[in-house]
Amino acid sequence: MTLDLTLSVFRAIGEETRLRIMALLTKGELTVSEITTILGQSQPRVSRHLKILADAGMTERHREGAWMFYRITVKAQTDPSLAAILDAVAAMSRSEDRILVRDSERFAQSRAARAAQAAAYFQDNAKEWNRLRRLHLPESDIEKRIVNMAGDDHFDVFVDLGTGTGRMLEIFADRYEAGVGYDLSHEMLALARANLEKANVGHAQARHGDLFSLPMEPGSADVVCVHQVLHYLAEPDEAVREAARLLKPGGRLIISDFAPHELEFLRDEHAHRRLGFSDDEVRSWCDASGLDLKNVETLSPASNEKKKLTVKIWLCEAPADVRRLRSRSAA
Ligand SMILES: C[S@@+](CC[C@H](N)C(=O)[O-])C[C@H]1O[C@@H](n2cnc3c(N)ncnc32)[C@H](O)[C@@H]1O
């Protein structure tokens, strides 16, 4: 890093509000209104500081519908000198400074409030979920493509993240020896158990668990599936990282979600946080988790379809090379 660049970075972060913003963004991406609420400052003021950080190459934004998300740039995360500065900023937010500790607490409260909002939605809509999930495209088309993505072979262990009513455990049932689906919602899990019993799927279990930290050994799953879950999460990349941790060498992760869209009402009425994902974004999560993005399927709605949601299926693979796998889990 040149002296000029170093100086411009220090000038950008060398101010209280901007340093607090950087400390927050080291924890994860945030919308401008979340930053405003956490800092207790006006939106114009926060936006002005964010612009200064962006001009110094430290932050970037991306708009999704009515929401603007801010995050630390890839360059700042990967350049060794900038990454060292970010580490120091992150360490400060774990310090005993009263303001930074309060910001961290508010960050945690903001994330918890989002998660509670989504959980309340699933609690209220558990019984309706099988009808709601059909709002996108004919479900049978998607399911056929998802199962095909896993290949023709029979495998040992199947894990479904955010299993909901257990549908993925059901449609993959004749492919695996043992299946386990995790979910945070007890209402969803009750339905999943009833559905599995009805479908005679005795070799799968529905268990309570947070998909960000699952009670499973690293390298224990052949296939992991995450179907229509990531758009509810504040950190979808972390969910992919946890899925990658679970995979055996050569194991496969199947992600099914929406392509980028503009249906803002899904946020207000259906607790979505993200309006779909691009291939590039999914590839960047794979890269960060040591997975290879092997295949992408795009299922577009018929042109006369009103809702116009395109469903994507991404097939990601863990390297068969054990050394690459080791460095992945060490990262
Ligand atoms: C839209 S439903 C999808 C269910 C299922 N995959 C399907 O396709 O029918 C999303 C599910 O993710 C679950 N979920 C959300 N956050 C979670 C978390 N952190 N850990 C585990 N499950 C989570 C919700 O409770 C909900 O059941």
Q: Summarize the confidence of residues 129-157 as an average pLDDT.
A: 80
Q: Does the CA dihedral 26-274-225-210 come out positive or negative? A: positive
Residue 197 binned pLDDT confidence (cut-offs 50, 70, 90): very high
Write out pLDDT tens, residues 164-181: 999 999 999 999 999 999
Residue nearest to atom 2 of ligand 1 (CA): 164
Residue nearest to atom 10 of ligand 1 (CA): 229
Write out pLDDT tens, residues 36-88: 999 999 999 999 999 999 999 999 998 888 899 999 998 888 888 888 999 99
What is the rounded CA–CA span in Å between residue 157 and residue 324?
22
Report CA(181)–ligand 1 centroid distance (Å).
10
Backbone φ, ψ for residue 324 (5° rounding): -65, -35
Domains of the chain in start order, with CATH, are: 3-117 (1.10.10.10), 129-330 (3.40.50.150)
Residue 135: the pLDDT is 59
What residues flank ligand 1, with Cβ below 6 Å?
118, 122, 133, 162-165, 167-168, 182-185, 188, 210-212, 227-229, 232
Residue nearest to atom 24 of ligand 1 (CA): 162
Residue nearest to atom 14 of ligand 1 (CA): 162
Residue 322 has pLDDT above 80, yes or no: no
The larger pLDDT score, comparing residue 268 to residue 296, is at: 296
Report CA(260)–ligand 1 centroid distance (Å).
20
Which atom of ligand 1 has the smallest separation from the CA of 160?
Answer: 6
What is the rounded CA–CA span in Å between residue 272 and residue 62?
17
Residue 229: the pLDDT is 96
Residue 325: the pLDDT is 52
**Pocket-testing residue among 185, 212, 257, ligand 1, by greatest number of atoms within 8 A of Cβ:** 185
